[in-house]
Amino acid sequence: MNRRATRLGNVLFITVNLLFLLVICSSMIIPLWNAVAVSFSSNLASMQPGIQMWPRQFSFSGYKTIWSILAIWKPFENSAIVSVLGTLLHVFLCSLAGYALAQFHLPGRRWITSLILITMMIPFQAIMVPVYVTMQQLGLLNTLFALILAGTVSGFSILLMRNFFLSIPGEVLESATIDGAGHFRLYWNICIPLSKAGLATVALFEFVGRWNDILTTVLFINDPNNYTLQVALNSLISQGGSMSSGYIVTDNVKMAGIMIAILPLLLVYPFVQKYFVKGIFVGSAKE
């Protein structure tokens, strides 16, 4: 009797558990699926009430409108430039600094490390006003370069790279040192090829962060020609029906914009899965 009761309990447990997870998953999938369906609907159909889990009157007009008529290709291009160049620069400079900090015999290493650690305790928003003033004094306001420059290095990435370099066995480096290799050669020919996972982690974090960033553009850019995708999309969505061009922005156009904004992220997603967790743990391991 008792045994049967536990078996029944087990079945019930598994069923309830599965149902719970199903509800959670559908709360993630249904909104996205709904957005996909609406983005492929025609202008008029997208505005009609009702559950849309499949495009009504299938059409690309949402995508055509946002891409060419509302010219979102320009902010898309800006975002691509800023994200790609910014990420490359970020990975390069952070790995260089991480390499230097991984050398124990470097005089002043602790001092420099704490200089970098302290920056991690300062939220960017807390110094956004004086950073804006600095950017203005440097004459960089309204340039894409300001967006690339902001966040060129970060304490998080530097420490993450340093931890990766520290995990390289010392004998490998020693034998290379005996062969007379300088630090730049050690860094480029030995450490970089051995730390691909670390580089990928930093690059992915940074690319996703830059692609999704809104604050730096809002701060440093006034000229719509230099807007990034997220800011252009935000003004499109929040201004609702009216645009400066007098064009009515229907729901399918908004959802098409959202799809365009998440496409690059979905492309890197398989890699993100692989590296993010690893990165999080290496990053949080001992200072």
Partner 1 sequence: MENTQQLAARTLSMKSKLKEQRKGKNKLAWTLYLMLVPTIVYFVILTYFPLLHAILISMQNFHMIGDRPFVGLQNYSQVLSDQTFWSTFGNTLFLGIGILLIGFVAPIVIALSLNELLQTWLKRTIQMIIYIPHLFSWVVVGGLWIYLLTPNTGLVNVVLKLLGIPQVQFMTDPNLARWVIILVSVWKDVGYNCILYLAAMVSINPALYESARIDGATRWNEMWHITLPSLGRTMQVVGLLSIMGILRLFDQIYVMRNAVIEPKVDVLMTYVFDQGFKQIDSIGQATASALLILLLSLFLTLFTRRLVRYDDM
Residues within window 58-77 making contact with partner 1, judged by CB under 8 A:
none
* Member of 36, 93, 168, 200 binding partner 1 (CB under 8 A): 93
Comparing CA positions, the residue from 5, 25, 281 lying closest to residue 163 is: 281
Question: How near is the Cβ of 100 to partner 1 at its closest, in Å?
Answer: 4
By CB under 8 A, name the one of 158, 173, 203, 249 that touches partner 1.
158
Residue tagged 């994200």 (tokens):
83
277 binds partner 1 (CB under 8 A): yes
Q: Nearest distance from residue 87's CB to partner 1, in Å?
A: 15
- Is residue 242 a contact residue for partner 1 (CB under 8 A)? no
Q: Does 17 bind partner 1 (CB under 8 A)?
A: yes
HEC sequence for the chain = CHHHHHHHHHHHHHHHHHHHHHHHHHHHHHHHHHHHHHHCCCHHHHCCCCCCCCCCCCCCHHHHHHHHHCCCHHHHHHHHHHHHHHHHHHHHHHHHHHHHHCCCCCCCHHHHHHHHHHHCCCCHHHHHHHHHHHHHHCCCCCCHHHHHHCCCCCHHHHHHHHHHHHCCCHHHHHHHHHCCCCHHHHHHHHHHHHCHHHHHHHHHHHHHHHHHCCHHHHHHCCCHHHCCHHHHHHHHHHCCCCCCCCCCCCHHHHHHHHHHHHHHHHHHHHHHHHHHHHHHHHHHCCC
Window contacting partner 1 (CB under 8 A); options: 12-20, 65-73, 162-170, 195-203: 12-20
Indicate which single residue of 21, 44, 69, 248 sits in contact with partner 1 (rule: CB under 8 A).
21
- Is the separation of the CB atoms in 135 and 151 below 8 Å? no
Sole binder of partner 1 in the list 49, 139, 193, 246 (CB under 8 A): 49
The interface mask with partner 1, positions 219-238, x = CB under 8 A, is x----------xx-xx--xx
The single residue among 11, 12, 69, 106 that binds partner 1, judged by CB under 8 A, is: 106
Query: Based on the number of CB atoms within 10 Å of its own CB, is 197 exposed (0-12), middle (13-18) or buried (19 or more)?
Result: middle
Stretch that binds partner 1, among 59-67, 69-77, 188-196, 207-215 (CB under 8 A): 207-215
The verdict on 139 binding partner 1 (CB under 8 A) reads: no
Looking at 55-63, 70-78, 163-171, 277-285, which segment touches partner 1 (CB under 8 A)? 277-285
Q: Is 263 in the site for partner 1 (CB under 8 A)?
A: no
Residue from 36, 168, 218, 243 in contact with partner 1 (CB under 8 A): 218
Q: How many CB atoms within 10 Å of residue 186?
A: 19
Listed ranges 31-39, 66-74, 80-88, 168-176: which one lies at the site for partner 1 (CB under 8 A): 31-39
- Shortest CB 244 distance to partner 1, Å: 19
Q: Is 122 in the site for partner 1 (CB under 8 A)?
A: yes
145 contributes a contact to partner 1 by CB under 8 A:
no
How many residues touch partner 1 (CB under 8 A)?
A: 96
